[in-house]
């Protein structure tokens, strides 16, 4: 890893240690049954405890977040989650549940197409993910 990538990764890690909160990221693979289209099974594929920074979306007029709210992609009570770049959040048959807080906390899921990776010299340094609260506690299949 080059000096720039190393320094950026170390700086982001310091931010997560100082300003972050404990999060539990669980990934589920999704399998659709062979007989019925509505038979969907979720199987836990990954489970990681790490640190992330959770912030409310910026709903001020003209901000990127407010544009997403106006387009109907975000709701005003959604949040932004910043994590290190190696966490897996997306995939064609993959869903993520994020628990904020330890040992118990509120559960969230990733907003579709709501993950932005920030890279330096081909390495993902950190990610910003838009998350929405799961009011039922369950992922939607």
CATH number at residue 7: 2.40.10
> Does any domain span residue 140?
no
Q: Which domain holds residue 82?
A: 3-133
pLDDT in tens, 33-58: 766 666 777 777 788 899 999 999 98
> Does any domain span residue 86?
yes
Number of domain units in the chain: 1
Q: What is the pLDDT of residue 91?
A: 65
Instruction: Give the count of beta carbons closer than 10 Å to the beta carbon of residue 74.
Output: 22
What is the pTM (predicted TM-score) of this model?
0.83
> Does any domain span residue 141?
no
> Does any domain span residue 22?
yes
H-run or E-run covering 68:
helix 64-70
Region of 90 (left: φ > 0; alpha: ψ -120 to 50; beta: rest) is: beta
């Amino acid at each position: 890893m080059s000096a720039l990538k190393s320094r950026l990764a170390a700086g982001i890690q310091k931010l997560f240690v100082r300003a972050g909160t404990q999060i539990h990221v669980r990934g589920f693979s999704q399998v659709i049954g062979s007989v019925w289209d509505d038979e969907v099974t979720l199987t836990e594929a990954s489970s990681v405890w790490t640190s992330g920074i959770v912030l409310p979306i910026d709903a001020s007029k003209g901000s990127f977040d407010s544009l997403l709210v106006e387009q109907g992609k975000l709701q005003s009570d959604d949040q932004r989650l910043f994590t290190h770049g190696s966490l897996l959040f997306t995939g064609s048959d993959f869903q993520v549940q994020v628990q904020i807080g330890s040992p118990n906390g509120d559960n969230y899921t990733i907003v579709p197409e709501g993950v932005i990776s920030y890279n330096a010299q081909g390495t993902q340094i950190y990610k910003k993910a838009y998350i929405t609260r799961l009011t039922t506690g369950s992922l939607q299949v």
